[in-house]
Structure 1
Amino acid sequence: MDATEPLSSVEIRAERAKNPKMRDRDFATQLGIPEARLLAAYVGQGVTRITADLDAVMPAVGRLGDVMALTRNESCVIEKMGAYADYHSGPLAAMILSQEIDMRMFPRHWVHGFAVELETDAGTKRSLQLFDAAGDAVHKVFLRDGSLVENWASVVQDLKLDSQSDEITFAPRTPVESPKADPSQAAQLRANWDKLTDTHQFLQMVRKMKMNRQGAYRIAGAPYVRPLAVSAVETLLNRAADSDLEIMVFVGNMGCIEIHTGPVHDIRPMGPWLNVLDPGFNLHLRGDHIAEVWAVTKPTRRGPAISVEAFREDGLLIAQFFGVLKGADGAAAWNELVADLPSLKAEAVA
């Protein structure tokens, strides 16, 4: 097979037949193709091209009842079980705000869509899978026992594109932005930081200063940020579990951020993976990918918002953790937990 020529769908399916059990994403990476290209190779063979328009997809998913919502980046996967409801449309950002499923979505990154029916030894697995322009997964929805399978066919039909071609084109992948900071503006950064009244203002502030999140953290200093040991994320999860403290976990990519709000209980390290395996919520985080962790304090109208944020070496934001501030006791418990997390020795900070 000539590696310089794009693989045909027939060739992709032949290679897949030799290795049917590897996860789609890992197999596509091994084959050197986008994950969406792997699915496109099976159009008409259990795979249907569907629209990626959020205004069509989100209400349709709501008709499937109790499902699993999965969002990932290169180093972390979040899975929430529940029903999609309370959809809020928007040209730049959209939201799902149901009791179980809490998501922020950015429509321009929702480009390719597929409905997938896969026959396995355990029965038929059904999912809706959405991808960005590069063919990387933005969000996936998996039917579960208890989902409204009787609505599946009509949902797929309503979302189905007129063209069911296996031909698909992709844009180059946007590289992860490395830390951007200007140490000469550190004093101005702190002055602007003091004026924040909402956490959502932070990114706009640093962008105006031609910095980014991680770069700003590296030059802000105390009391705005504190560098933590890379073990702090595991410590945080274990202490939250031990104290039954409710937390918020944010995991996302350029097109979607998925949020868990509530307690965590079953913390299970497995090889390089740090897992939370709770009913209704799973988290799978590559602990060996964590290169920097920061405790961050931002002022808001309701008081300081304190987060713990983990980054990969190349600058990817892996996950963010916040407290669920239900009254003074909840805030105090979270603030105390973060204050007790192990610091990184100053000389080890990049």
Structure 2
Amino acid sequence: MAHAEQRPTPEEIRAAQDDSPNLRARDLADRLGISEAEPVAARVGDGATRLRAHPDHLMPAAETLGEVMALTRVPACVHEKVGRYANYHPGPHASMVLNEEIDLRIFPKHWVHAYAVEAEGENGPRRSLQVFDAAGDAVHKIHMRETSDHAAWAQVVSDLAHDDQSEGQAVEPRQPPEAPKSVPEKADVLRAEWRKLTDTHQFLRLCSKLKMNRLGAYRIAGAPFVRQLEPDAADLMLEAVRDAGIGVMVFVGNRGCIQIHSGPLQTVKAMGPWQNIMDPGFNLHLRRDKLAELWAVEKPTQRGPAISVEAFDVDGAIIFQVFGIGKEGMDSRPEWGRIVEALPGLPAVAPVGA
């Protein structure tokens, strides 16, 4: 990202946009060495309106827009769900949108900048609400569709408009992802405590207590807790879920928002470096060449074993998690377990301390 003294002015950003009108916003930002928020902020007063960013303001407003497309992404994966925002649960540290279509875990401190964006498209105006973190990286976006309540748009923008409508946006330096953290001398403690888990949410607290993080723990835990898979097994997993017709939960999340799809996968289609799920109501776009590590993970719970397949990039940042959907109050799903068990693994390395 460009240093402050080298950053282009809003006028220069607009000129670059006009020179390359078909370039995606993220690609333009990369070309200019700036954050994704800055090209949006350069258009404040000209198709963009700065909004109050807190989810306590944005989520109730989104509920008035009818059917929309929710988008959450990380650099290697984009998760898109069509539905309505409803059943928002606020909280000081974590908030939620909980319904069958839109299922979000929200971390409000990272909802720092927000904009309503409107541009003319071939089939009428293209409208979206876009949220960014302190570094100007996208946290969550809400895209209006033909079926959305466009009559409600102007009221939402008016109600959420920030007092500051100046062009441009100052951003903070991007925080790098946390590198994998292991404490090999605590491997036996990790495994002993792992066996005692009764809920998947206890796992990150365990990692924190042992001064590790998720990927660091996976790298030293060994069987029967984890198995490292061939990266190409991500494709096989998605195709096997499609072929079996079972439901899964697909999690993609950044610092500020985790978005979840629950249901089957119907259309899995590779295009160049991308693997895509192209279903009514759910699209996933995965850069397979950015997937560095893939792990099968099993955690005990009171409702049976919770089995997941989890992907990480070269920096150790998580790309996605896929879990089976349990039935009748159980976390385990035999068909999902058999799919994961059949995935090709990398040669096993003896766990630390074993």
Task: Give the TM-score of the pair, scaled to structure 2.
Answer: 0.96
CA distance in 2, matches of 1:241, 1:95: 28
Structure 1 partner of 2:16: 15
Residue number in structure 2 paired with 1:268: 269
Q: Is 1:174 the counterpart of 2:175 in the alignment? A: yes
Alpha-carbon distance between aligned partners in 2 of 1:56 and 1:303, rounded to the nearest angstrom: 38
* Contact 2:87–2:98 (Cα < 8 Å) also in 1: yes
| Alignment of 1:335 onto 2:337 | yes
Q: Provide the rounded CA distance (Å) in 2 between the counterparts of 1:209 and 1:329.
A: 26
Instruction: Tell me the SS of whatever aligns to 1:13.
Output: helix
| Amino acid corresponding to residue 238 of structure 1 in structure 2 | E
Partner Cα distance (2:122, 2:15) in 1: 20
> For residue 58 of structure 2, what is the amino acid of its counterpart?
V
Distance 2:37 2:178 in 1: 23
Query: How has the CA–CA distance of structure 1 residues 188 and 124 changed in structure 2, closer, same or farther, with 3 Å as cutoff?
Result: same
Per-residue deviation, 1:120: 2.1
C-alpha distance in 1 between matches for 2:209 and 2:349: 30
Describe how 1:50-199 pairs up with structure 2 within 5 A.
Answer: 50-199=51-200
CA distance in 2, matches of 1:348, 1:187: 13
1:324, CA displacement in angstroms? Answer: 0.6
- CA deviations on 1:298-344 (whole Å, 9 max, x unpaired) are 11111111100001111010000000112479711111111111111
Which residue pairs with 2:292 in the alignment? 291
For 2:311, give the aligned amino acid.
A
What secondary structure sits across from 2:65 in the alignment?
coil
Tell me how many residue pairs correspond in the alignment: 349
Structure 1 residues 186-225: aligned runs within 5 Å: 186-225=187-226
Give, in whole Å, the separation in 1 of the partners of 2:149 and 2:4: 43
Q: What amino acid sits opposite 1:46 in the alignment? A: G
For the residues of structure 1 that align with 2:12 and 2:220, how far apart are their CA atoms?
A: 50
Aligned to 2:146, the other structure's residue is in SS state coil
What amino acid is the match of 1:341? L
Aligned to 1:310: 311
1:168 is displaced (CA, Å) by 2.1
Pick from 324, 345, 348: which aligns with 2:347? 345
Aligned residue in 2 for 1:233: 234
Report deviation, 1:121: 2.5
For residues 195 and 176 of structure 1, do their structure 2 counterparts lie closer, same or farther at Cα, with a shift above 3 Å needed? Answer: same
Structure-2 separation of matches of 1:121 and 1:107? 35
CA offsets 1:87-120 (integer angstroms, 9 cap, x no match): 0000000000122000000000000000000112
Residues 55 and 172 (structure 1 numbering): CA distance in 2 closer, same or farther, change over 3 Å? same
Q: TM-score, normalised by structure 1?
A: 0.97
Paired letter, 2:224: P
TM-aligned CA deviation for residue 24 of structure 1: 0.3
For 2:310, the aligned partner's letter is: E
Distance 1:216 1:94 in 2: 27
| CA deviation map 1:139-158 (0-9, x unaligned) | 00000011000000001100
* Partner Cα distance (2:53, 2:209) in 1: 31
**Counterpart amino acid of residue 42 in structure 1:** R
Match of 1:278 in 2: 279
Verify the 8 A CA contact 2:311 2:320 in the aligned structure 1. Answer: yes
Against the structure 1 CA distance between its residues 158 and 348, is the aligned structure 2 distance closer, same or farther, given a 3 Å change threshold? farther
Amino acid at match of 1:338: V
C-alpha displacement at 1:204, in angstroms? 1.1
- CA deviation profile, 1:154-202 (whole Å, cap 9, x unmatched): 0110000111011322111110111110111110000111121111111
**Cα–Cα, structure 1 residues 329 and 176, in superposed 2: closer, same or farther, change >3 Å?**
closer
CA distance in 1, matches of 2:121, 2:98: 33
- Partner Cα distance (2:170, 2:196) in 1: 45
- CA distance, structure 2, for counterparts of residue 134 and residue 257 of structure 1: 18
Structure 2 contact 301–331 (Cα < 8 Å) conserved = no
Aligned residue identity for 1:339:
E
Q: How far 1:346 moved relative to its partner?
A: 2.7
